[in-house]
Structure 1
Amino acid sequence: MQFAANITTTNISIKKLSPNATIPTYGSEFAAGADLYSAEEADITINPGETCFIHTGIAMEIPVGLVGLIYARSGMACKKGLAPANKVGVIDSDYRGEIMVALHNHSNNAVTVEKGDRVAQIVMTPYVTGSFTEVDEISDTVRGEGGFGSTGTK
């Protein structure tokens, strides 16, 4: 069975803030995340349990209605133990500063991020904002107040 690709492309204006900056790239035709690259002047070694802020050397003009979500690159996270310290970074459409990636070393070994390495990926996605209203009661559901693990079986 073949599926027709229904991909929406939106222009994202990028400003290079460093001569070492690399414009984000997609690794394959249907990749959701675009790779972000280290624009550091030199290699950076991240010790076990340490977090380092990695400069990408770029700023973006994300259109209103979209958010840039920064995720780990699976290879870097699984093979080297490096992943964003905040798990998912949020780049709002009104932010115009440099995109930084806070990489945390979850491994037991020092890991070196080389100048130009792919350090994370950014996914552009639409979002909905909520209008919050305080009430005295909220509706009940079958799940109710069941929290962590409450819907699993054994």
Structure 2
Amino acid sequence: MQLLLKIKKVKGYEDLPTPKFMTSGSVGMDLFAAIDEEIILSPLERKKVPVGICIELPKGYEAQVRPRSGLAANYGITLLNAPGTIDWDYRGEISAVLINLSNENFVIKRGDRIAQMVFNKVEIPVVELVEEIDASLRGSNGFGSTGL
């Protein structure tokens, strides 16, 4: 069964393109800046940029807001909380928290493609509090323990 994604455009941004997959093989659908005035993102500056939509996901699904590779590679623009998770019960406007990791100002204009959204089925576990957990070969060896 295919995932049904309901999208509602935010008032005042109905003229922006509906988020879309840019190719038949795209996994992420592009999101567009829903702003009235240009935003200048200075080096190391971060801003929450709305994308002009609200979504309704079926229970058991999440949406992830991720950086666009071209913006990251060519301009140093990425998302601060990548990926940003949108829970299935969230109904507010989606935003992308952009950060400029370059040494130059970056201008964001209304309708610019600023992020992408990917969808995943998720499992919600039943939580059981225990005194001990089973041992594993790795154990508690963490950051960098498996080498470079």
Task: Answer whether TM exceeds 0.5 for this pair.
Answer: yes
Please, which runs of 5 or more residues in structure 1 have no aligned partner?
1-7
Asked whether 1:124 is paired with 2:124, we answer: no
5+ residue gaps in structure 2?
A: none
Alignment map for 1:79-90 (pairs within 5 Å) = 79-90=74-85
In the alignment, which residue of structure 2 is the partner of 1:70? 65
The Cα shift of 1:75 comes to 0.4
Aligned residue among 107, 121, 140 for 1:112? 107
| Equivalent residue number for residue 128 of structure 2 | 133
Conserved? CA contact 2:32–2:114, under 8 Å: yes
Q: 1:82 to 1:20 in 2, by over 3 A?
A: farther
Amino acid in the other structure paired with 2:32 = Y
TM-score (norm 2): 0.92
Distance in 2 of aligned mates of 1:9 and 1:104: 34
Distance in 1 of aligned mates of 2:140 and 2:48 = 38
CA contact (8 A) 1:20 1:41 kept: no
Aligned to 2:5: 12
Give 4+ residue runs of structure 1 displaced > 4 Å after superposition. Answer: none
Identity percentage of aligned residues: 36
TM-score, reference length from structure 1: 0.89
Contact 1:21 1:56 in 2 (8 A): no
Q: Say what the alpha-carbon RMSD is for the aligned residues.
A: 1.4
Q: Does 1:94 align with 2:89?
A: yes
